[in-house]
Amino acid sequence: MPPIPSSSFATRVREVMTQKGLSSAVLAQRAELTPSLLSRLTTENLSTRRDPQIEHILALARVLEVAPAELVAGTEAEPILGQWIPRYEFEKEVQARNEAQAEASELRTELAGTRSELITLRNELEQMGHEVTKASQRAADAEESARRELPALRAAKGAAEAKLAQALTERDQALADAQQNYRAWANAHSQALNLQRQVANADGKAVILGLIGTAVGAMVAGDENATKKGRR
């Protein structure tokens, strides 16, 4: 339920007019209203009083040098001003509405593009999901295969390690044998060198003894020949 006005618009206009020292004729002239119209707007006779329009309120407020809101405050004309929208505000609202419509159109275009991108992304995600599923299955199959082959691999590893150990043992034995053979060869070689030196020494002595024996034999033969000649 709207509040009851504390004063009438007609009374307020007359009060302000008196404060400004203006007559009804001057006020009507400056507000570009006919005297009869002003009289009907400001009369206390409810049967002949005319309800003010927004243009009446604005014209009277301009001449009385008060704000329109102040002129109608607390009167039955206050709701009228509340319904009034200044032109610049109307144009601002129209501009805002046009901008909002343009923005809405852009948003609809962007939304359509976004929906298209979302569809593409959804398809890509589905494709990736299929690939992930396949990759997971391959991984599971590989894991199961490795689990089945693990005992054989462990056995093969054990056999390979045993063969390696055996090969290492044989290698070490071969190295030991080679070292022993080398030492035997070196010893035999040293003995052979010594024997060669001994043989060489023995051959030298034999030659010398042979020469001595030959000389002694010659000397003996000479003595025998001389003895035979003396006997003759």
Please report, to the nearest 10 degrees, the dihedral formed by the alpha carbons of residues 143, 148, 154, 156 taken in order: -120
Separation of alpha carbons 204 and 193, rounded Å: 17
pLDDT digit string (tens) for the chain, length 232 residues: 444 455 799 999 999 999 999 999 999 999 999 999 999 999 988 889 998 999 999 999 999 999 998 999 888 888 888 777 565 554 555 576 678 778 888 888 898 888 888 898 888 888 888 887 887 888 788 788 768 887 876 887 888 788 878 877 888 887 787 788 778 778 878 887 887 888 777 777 776 767 777 766 766 666 666 666 665 5
Q: Would you call 228 exposed, middle or buried from its count of C-beta atoms within 10 A (0-12, 13-18, 19+)? A: exposed
pLDDT at 195: 79
Q: What is the DSSP letter of 76?
A: T
Query: Which residue blocks in the chain are alpha helix, DSSP H?
Result: 9-20, 24-30, 35-42, 54-64, 68-72, 78-82, 87-231
pLDDT at 3: 47
Compute the residue count for the chain: 232
pLDDT at 89: 54
Which pair of structure tokens corresponds to residue 173?
A: 């034995």
Separation of alpha carbons 163 and 137, rounded Å: 38
Residues 44 and 102 sit within 8 Å (Cβ to Cβ): no
Domains by residue range for the chain, with CATH: 9-84 (1.10.260.40), 86-200 (no CATH)
**Which residue is listed with tokens 């009507």?**
28
Cα distances (Å, whole numbers) of residue 75 to 12, 13, 62, 89, 118: 8, 11, 18, 24, 59
Separation of alpha carbons 19 and 7, rounded Å: 17
